[in-house]
Amino acid sequence: MPPQRETSRTWGGRFTRATAPDALAFTASIGFDIRLYPYDIRVSIAHARMLAACGIISARDRDRIVAGLRAIEKEIESGRFRPQLADEDIHMAIERRLVEKIGAVGAKLHAARSRNDQVATDARLFVKDAIDAIDAAIARLQSTLLDVAERDGEAVLPGYTHLQRAQPILLGHHLLAYYDMLERDRERLADCRRRTDVLPLGCGALAGTTLPIDRRMLAKELGFKRIAENSIDAISDRDFIAELLAALAIVFTHISRLASDITLWATSEFGFVVLDDAYSTGSSMMPQKKNPDIAELVRGKSGRVFGDLLALLTVLKGLPLAYNSDLQEDKEALFDAVDTTKASLEALAALVG
């Protein structure tokens, strides 16, 4: 049986047949972009306030929309509202639920915006928060390295070139080399955050809107320092994600080297360190073993983050302007790289400490 007529979707006006179930399953992003719901709610509240300030909707409609959005946020947090595959993405899921809760006035929220500028704004807010969290995790690892250097830094050990013993060095000197690497990582992340701090909301699908909106009010409300000047670039740009993933790949280049040092130092052949039992594993067959699994996994997970970067660059490299559905592929790489980096930094700090 062919799909039946479907006109309930925001974009469904010209269509006479519903999306085929297999096509919907393939194109929907709700399975992963639901993670953006706090940002989408925040963006929508700011948008509703701006629409009212510009006289596009009434103050009464604004208040109903904002109250409805706050209620939906609580429903998602508590698990009482579960988006459906038919929603396609988190933006439409929230708008659909808003109309269910407050009626047709909820549809007014979509005035003067597109999912294109909406998702670009959500993603930038996510990236800014992710950078802050990763910067804090790097700082904790740096602090741990300093603590070990202060406690045991006078210990003398061989320094190596070509993995051959070269000159005697102090443990503290060796550990602080990683401190400096991590400091450069923090500088790169700070630069990336500065370039991310640009508001795309108000750019619409690609060429703005004829409605009299106030983008500077949106920027202030959402905490962006600048507004995007070129709407086509703002919609199609994912440089900020690519730059973050590149910075995280370099973080992993550094912490993977630290993990490799720890793995070598814990061997019987080197014998420079003894790993805490709480952060080691053993063997089901060889009871004498103490395995440096955390260090090995940090080293191994570098491949995931390198892969996330390469995947995104491959998506972006041949796209014509402006928006294309290919850009939907940015989020899983982004989420995976951020999660993997935070978890690895925290695990490595615990191991080193």
DSSP symbols for 20-59: PHHHHHHH--HHHHGGGHHHHHHHHHHHHHHHHHTTSS-H
283 assigned to active site: yes
Distance between start and end Cα atoms, the chain = 63
Please give the Cα distance from 275 to 292 (Å, whole number). 7
Contacts of 286 (CB under 8 A, 6+ apart): none
Backbone Cα Rg of the chain? 25
Q: Is 84 left (phi over 0), alpha (psi -120 to 50) or beta?
A: beta
Contacts of 306 (CB under 8 A, 6+ apart): 249, 252
Selection from 189, 160, 163 nearest residue 173 by Cα? 160
Q: Cβ–Cβ contacts within 10 Å for residue 116, how many? A: 21
Question: With the C-alpha atoms ordered 247, 252, 255, 257, is the resulting torsion angle positive or negative?
Answer: negative
Catalytic-labelled residue, pool 162, 268, 284, 325: 162
344 assigned to active site: no
Catalytic-labelled residue, pool 8, 58, 143, 283: 283
Q: Cite the active site residues.
A: 162, 283
